[in-house]
Amino acid sequence: MHTPAFLGSSNLILDRRKFMGVAAGLIAAGVLPKHALALAAPYTFKQGSFDVTVVSDGTIMLPLSVVSPEAKPEELAALLGAQVQGDKAQFEVSPLLLKSGSDVILIDTGGGGAMAPTAGKLADSLKAAGTEPGAITKVIYTHAHPDHLWGTIGGDGKSTFANASFHVAEAEWNFWVAEDLVSKTPKDMQGMVKGIQGQLAAIKEKVTMFKPGSELVSGLNVIDTAGHTPGHVSFELAGGDGLIITGDAITNATVFFAHPDWKFGFDADHAGAAANRKKLLDMAASGKKKMLGYHWPYPGLGMAEAKDGAYVYVPAA
């Protein structure tokens, strides 16, 4: 099985000054594009009682064969448009900062140093948004894949969010911490699993588990979207007609709005993922709810319109 570089590099934690130097060299040599280190500005809007800020962790490149293994390459490339670079597609990595009352909530933590130099920049984005990591009171996860979790601990192995409690879906936690998971995983994916387990072990004492259907803080509700991973969840924020924080239930807006049934290469359970993807799209289209996508073209805010048995993505920012 082909493993993209970003999933196999759990031990690669570069110190920040070193990586900036290395990246600058790669840009000078023409290996990385000039904009590889550019960081999108925080994008803020109001949703009910929440101040929502999209904070960028940077970008990652996924092979087209992962974006949709069964799609015809030409059809996939046409849907992805400007996101395609060679045989890969550029995916944004966009955690969220939510402020409501005394809560300062981070949804997902980006990829950390292992995904440098194009991702792992959450600390810089938080700073640009006027928030220090120590000010975060709650870190809530959609799921435990590296690009959503590995920004949790720093190079010293300690949590970057010293004053936060951590909130993980029970099914997701139980799946990844299982003692026999590494031995049951194909060899080339074992490094990723160990990396995930290391991050989860570091926050173990401060973890609260939750179930779909629960309300984590007033106006923040959990939606079951298992399939991408066994305990994957999305969230809905109250206010107006609602806002759905999709996580990786819909990893690409242009591709999976048009083809909700297509397989995404990293979905653990294709049928479950597709069913929950359609559930979210139907909820959003029929309820006129806004949607946020972690990997969609920045800042990833848009609406779903039902059309010919599928959906059209209408960016709202």
Binding site for Zn ion (CB under 5 A): 147, 248
**Shortest reach from residue 145's CB to Zn ion, in Å:** 5
**Shortest reach from residue 244's CB to Zn ion, in Å:** 16
**Shortest reach from residue 250's CB to Zn ion, in Å:** 11
**Shortest reach from residue 172's CB to Zn ion, in Å:** 13
> Measured from the CB atom, is 217 or 222 closer to Zn ion?
222
Amino acid at residue number 244: I
> Measured from the CB atom, is 131 or 251 closer to Zn ion?
251
Amino acid at residue number 3: T
Cβ-defined contacts of 212-218 (< 8 Å, 24+):
212/169, 216/138, 216/140, 216/167, 217/100, 217/103, 217/105, 217/138, 218/49, 218/100, 218/101
Amino acid at residue number 194: K
294, 247 contact by CB (below 8 A):
yes
Amino acid at residue number 266: F
> Measured from the CB atom, is 100 or 191 closer to Zn ion?
191
> Measured from the CB atom, is 260 or 265 closer to Zn ion?
265
> Measured from the CB atom, is 58 or 100 closer to Zn ion?
58
In DSSP notation, 131-159 reads --GGG--EEE-S---HHHHTTSB-TTSSB
**Shortest reach from residue 291's CB to Zn ion, in Å:** 15
